[in-house]
Each structure stands twice: as C-alpha cells, then as structure tokens.
Amino acid sequence: MRNRKVDILRFIGLAMIILAHVEPPSMLFQIRNFDVPLMVLVSGMSFGLTYKSGEAYLSYVWRRVKRLVFPVWIFLAIYFIALAILYPDSSELDSRTMINSFLLIKGIGFVWIIKVFLLVALISPWIYRFSAKTESNRRYILIIVGCFLTWEITRYLTIPMMSGGLKTASLITHYIIPYGLVFAVGLRVSQFNNRQLHRFSFISLGALILIGLGLFLIHGKFIPTQKFKYPPSIYYFSYSFLVSFFLLAHSRYLERIFERLGLLKVVLFIAQNTIWIYLWHIPLVKIVNLNFILKYLVVLFTAVIIAYIQVCFVNSFLLMRTSNKRLRKNIATILTG
C-alpha cells in the first residue's frame, strides 16, 4: 500500500537532487539544498510503515541489497559498456574509477547517495527497535537531539583526521551516524501533527540563523549549508529540517496542487521509481549541454521516459514470460522501483 504523503515528498527530494546536478545559480542551489536529508527522512517514514519486526536480519539486508545495490551494478555495467563503445578514450574507463563506482565511493560521481541509503539500511532495524521501545515522543526527540549534539562535537574533532588515518573509516562512520539520526527522526515524524511540525520548523530555523550568524561573524560572509555537507553537520541539517517539516505539514496541499495540474499520476510514478530515474539521469547530466532550466527539463523528462519504458518492458514482457514466483519478485525488485 503506497502512502501518498511519502510519495509526494520522495518526488520533491528526487526532483531537487537532479536540479542540483544541472548546476543552477548559487541562490537556487542553496534553496534546494534540503534534498538528501529529505529523502532519508522519507525512507524513515516509509520504513516505519512497512517493516516487519520479525524478519531475520540477514534476510532483511539481502532484500535491501537487491533493492539498492543490484540496480546500481546493472546500470554501471550498461554505462561502462556503452562508454567503451561510444567514447573508448574516456577517463571514466580507468580501472580505479570503475572499481570505486561499483563500491559506491566516488567513481563516476552521483552514486555516493546509494551508499548513504545502504549504510542507513544496515542499522535501520535497531533504530526501529529503539523507537518502538521509547514510547514518549518528547523523550525520543530529546535523545535524538543529544545524539546530534554529540555527533557535531565528534565531527568537529575528527575533521582534521579525515585526510589521514581516519579517511577510509570516515567514508562509513561520518555518514552512517548523522544520516542514521535523520532516519530516526523520519521513523517518528509521522506521529506529529501540523502544529508540531511547524514548531520543529521554527526550531530548525532558529538553529540555522544562530549557526549562520556565528559563521558570518567568523568568516565575514554568508557560508552556504553546502559547505557543511561532507560530512554533514547540524548547520546543513538545520536547513533541511526547516524545509522538510514545512513540506510534510503541507503535503496534502501539495497533493491537491499536483492533482489540479494533472501531474499527480506522473509525480506518483516518479516517486515509485526513484532509483532507476536517478540512475538514468546520470549519463544525461553528463551529455546534455544547455542552460540549466532547459537542461533540467530535458534530463528529468528523458530519465522519466526511459524509466517508464523500462517498467513497461519489465511488466509486459519479462514478468509475463516468467513463471517462477520468486524470480518474478526479484526481477520486479531489481528492475523497477
């Protein structure tokens, strides 16, 4: 059963991520800089609605790997084969680049977000159990806030070491911890009413202004939250939470707008096929050379069309010719969604 509130937010998150990759003006780039935390927040909301607490952990992990990693590996295989045929001199065919891409590190770029979702998925069941055992929303939020503050101190102290011995470990620790906390917020946020969501938005705004002013006094200029994204800090998350809570509070209104514009079915399709739309947008971002508005429209529209053709092919051809139920489920899991 799909949750439209979740799907609306997932669509917005994906749309903003793709917008970032077409190199919009700096002001617009900052405005949309809530996208990745919103997607993690939404994954927490979705997890809370669908997770079966009795499922074996290894079974759960294998299911997430099939959903998150296998599509990326299939896409990368297609990408590098196409690159070898069309652009055999491309620097991206370097073995190190290809290996790092499959390891979800850096490589061709853009795949790091899959690593974030995978890392968070690995600890999601434990976060879920903690949430289930902590009945009081107030106590739960206070603990999460305390964890965020502890993380901020840890981040500050370890930043100098990230170029040295901590570099490899930080690729895991400095993403699984902060985004795990965002996921934890997502697990509980569905229980908040609009008044509470607006209150959290104002608290996030206060944190954003306070930290922003402090940075302004130190550096003598406005420091974009993007500067504190790798690894993410409270400053980066404060803006993300500000926008995310506001969007969540007004998700029904957004749904009505999309419905009146006749775009709701398209929005829901995009929300239900985010991973493949995201993957197909990668080569498009690299080859389309237009001003950022046209590039954004072309990249998003083309990626959606390719994903639509793929979903139709899978549903109307592959699945119709596959009798094994388990195989059918695996094909649908990996090649759609």
The identity of residue 83, as a single letter, is L
- Report DSSP state, residue 150: H
How many Å apart are CA 191 and CA 176, to the nearest integer?
A: 24
**pLDDT tens-digit profile, the chain (337 residues):** 578 999 999 999 999 999 999 999 999 999 999 999 999 999 999 998 888 888 899 999 999 999 999 999 999 999 999 999 999 999 999 999 999 999 998 899 999 999 999 999 999 999 999 999 999 999 999 999 999 999 999 999 998 887 766 777 888 999 999 999 999 999 999 899 999 999 999 999 999 999 999 999 999 999 999 999 999 999 999 999 999 999 999 999 999 999 999 999 999 999 999 999 999 999 999 999 999 999 999 999 999 999 999 999 999 999 999 999 999 999 999 999 8
Helix count and strand count (H, E) for the chain: 15, 0
Structural domain spans, the chain: 33-249, 251-337
Q: What burial letters (b/e) apply to 219-243, b meaning 16+ CB within 10 Å?
A: eeeebbbeebbebbbbbbbbbbbbb
Tens of pLDDT, residues 160-208 = 887 766 777 888 999 999 999 999 999 999 899 999 999 999 999 999 9
How many Å apart are CA 257 and CA 170, to the nearest integer?
A: 42
What pLDDT is attached to residue 167? 75
